[in-house]
Amino acid sequence: MIVVWDMETGEPFGAPLRGHTSRVNSVAISPDGTRIVSGSDDRTIRVWDADTGKPLGAPLQGHTSRVSSIAISSDGSRIVSGSNDTTIRVWDADTGKPLGAPLQGHTDRVRSVAISPDGTRIVSGSDDRTICVWDADTGKPLGAPLQGHTGPVWSVAISPDGTRIISGSSDKTTRVWDADTVTVALHDTH
């Protein structure tokens, strides 16, 4: 179940969104605020109308294990999902159809995904302790996986100007990477 909250009152906004058959691991809202996207242990992604709470189309299916992370491109045209099946999938946000083949390169579950503000790069973090950077159009990796964490990478983000990749790990560190040169830009923080 997903609950939408009113930011001004702190009260639930409408009824909970129901449809997943297992735990919901990640949610995102489209930049225009019209759609909510959720990923679940039931291996599906669901798209909801943010005003009515009704599902928009059928669940997006293709992952073979739980969906752990969801991101939406800044123009709202693409949904990116990361899964315990070690893949990242890119979906057309309007049709729900997959865009190309799954992105493969991680050797363990994908914990987090992010899309650059200009929509050209996808970043993923995994239990394999690496961060991968992908070309959003071709699905090809951009360079070798970023290494430096000694534990699973639980979270990734991209700065609003697209110049930095930030990763957080169970090794108790946060790393900041230069998105253009893909090297560590700043020292680890604890």
CATH number, residue 41: 2.130.10.10
Q: With 80 as the cut, is the pLDDT of residue 184 above it?
A: no
The pLDDT tens digits for 100-127 are: 999 999 999 999 999 999 999 999 999 9
Four-residue CA torsion sign, 126, 128, 133, 134: negative
Does some domain include residue 112? yes
Stated pTM of the model: 0.91
Does some domain include residue 13? no
pLDDT of residue 53: 92
Domain carrying residue 92:
24-183
Does some domain include residue 139? yes
The pLDDT tens digits for 74-100 are: 999 999 999 999 999 999 999 999 999
Q: Tally the domains of the chain.
A: 1
Does some domain include residue 100? yes
Does some domain include residue 188? no
Does some domain include residue 145? yes
Does some domain include residue 135? yes
Does some domain include residue 3? no
**Residue 97 has which token pair?**
């159809």
The pLDDT tens digits for 45-68 are: 999 999 999 999 999 999 999 999
pLDDT of residue 181: 75
**Percent of the chain at pLDDT exceeding 70:** 95
